[in-house]
Amino acid sequence: MEKKGNHTAAKASTASILSVAMVLFASHAGGGFATGNQENTYFVCSGWAGLLSLALSMAILTGIIAIAMRLYNKYDLHSYKELFEKLYHPFDKLELVFELFFYVMVIMAVSVAIAGAASALGQYFGWNYYVCIVLVGLLVFFATIFGERAVQLISTYMGTAIMICIFVAYGYGILKAGNVGHLFSVRFQNEGFSELPKAIWNAFVYAGFQCVQIPTMLACGAIFKGKNNNAEGKSMFASFFMNTFGLGMAVFMLLCWENTFTKTPNGSTLPTLTVLQTMKVNWLLVVYGVILLLCLVSSAITLTFAFVDRFENSKVVDKVPTLFEKRCVLSAFIIILSVVISLGGLTNIIKYGYGYMGYLAIFLIIIPLLTVGVRKIRKG
């Protein structure tokens, strides 16, 4: 009986590690490789070096999230506000800069996710755009008012579906590209290592604006408190492979078809869709539609939840009687605000804002966690 109990505990631990890893994958998917726009902007533009860049970027992202979760759990902290006060101490007020970064990024990311998912529904089913926005908003609302367990469960199922669809759609696109080896050989001969410095910089910038995932991961990773088996590191190690696989498949396919979507009018706006339309394979467009919708909705859910988790115990909603009602109020607020912004024609500002937030995050989050964060974990 004792052996059976130990075996069950080990299985539960593995399940929780993979579940937390999948949360990051599902959340990153919407802002990472759903449309192809971000891959083209940060990785495809660097040619073959873009493949190294994306792997480095995912190593940085999962590494700093593992450090953040470990610091959070080691000192039994209860919000990302407390985490960054601990990180920046004795300059505690620097935490307010992260707050600003987080609010701006959540609003941008959720606005883009809701608008993108609504556009996908409208394009595939012919539904009215505004009706689709309401439907997506309601889906995100109900998914975020039941706490981190619900978010983990939803993200796990969505993440699994996304991985399967990515393998099918992007894998087919790579096979249809023809002589991939020849394509990359020619690119290397033309570019050499000239794009490598830019590729390394882009890796840090991309990881920087993806740091908006940290609050969600802290809340979900709190289940590792009291564990001594480096569960935080293991979960992010698993997530590194998940995210590198998804992002890598997308970038690899776009590199193979770069001459196609760059020469198509407005093809660089939604490069993945442009490539799949070029193939004229209807079932593939359906699979991609599923990927796009799942990616965008999962990102909206996890980021909205992070905002809800931050304020559900604060004085801002102190007069709201129950925890459930507080979550409803907060979730409704951020969703309505994001929808209003997306309807205001600010998508270009939102798109370019990612880059500036990435620059800020390198110095505000990445470097402090890799240096001060690691030291405080070892010291404690």
Q: What's the pLDDT at 57?
A: 97
Q: What's the pLDDT at 348?
A: 58
Q: What's the pLDDT at 5?
A: 47
Predicted TM-score (pTM) of the model is 0.82
Any domain includes 317: yes
Any domain includes 10: no
More confident residue, 212 or 64: 64
pLDDT at 204 over 80: yes
HEC profile of the chain: CHHHHHHHHHHHHHHHHHHHHHHHHHHHHHHHCCCCHHHHHHCHHHCCHHHHHHHHHHHHHHHHHHHHHHHHHHCCCCCHHHHHHHHHCCCHHHHHHHHHHHHHHHHHHHHHHHHHHHHHHHHHHCCCHHHHHHHHHHHHHHHHCCCHHHHHHHHHHHHHHHHHHHHHHHHHHHHHCCCHHHHHHHHHHHHCCCCHHHHHHHHHHHHHHHHHHHHHHHHHHHHHCCCCCCHHHHHHHHHHHHHHHHHHHHHHHHHHCHHHHCCCCCCCCCHHHHHHHHHCCHHHHHHHHHHHHHHHHHHHHHHHHHHHHHHCCCHHHCCCCCHHHHHHHHHHHHHHHHHHHHHCCCHHHHHHHHHHHHHHHHHHHHHHHHHHHHHHHHHC
Any domain includes 339: yes
pLDDT tens, residue by residue, 188-199: 777 778 889 999
CATH number at residue 50: 1.10.4160.10
User: What is the domain range of residue 375?
Assistant: 32-379
Question: What total of structural domains would you count in the chain?
Answer: 1
More confident residue, 234 or 143: 234
pLDDT at 346 over 60: no
More confident residue, 291 or 44: 44
Any domain includes 270: yes
Q: What's the pLDDT at 186?
A: 75
Any domain includes 187: yes
Any domain includes 160: yes
More confident residue, 197 or 168: 197
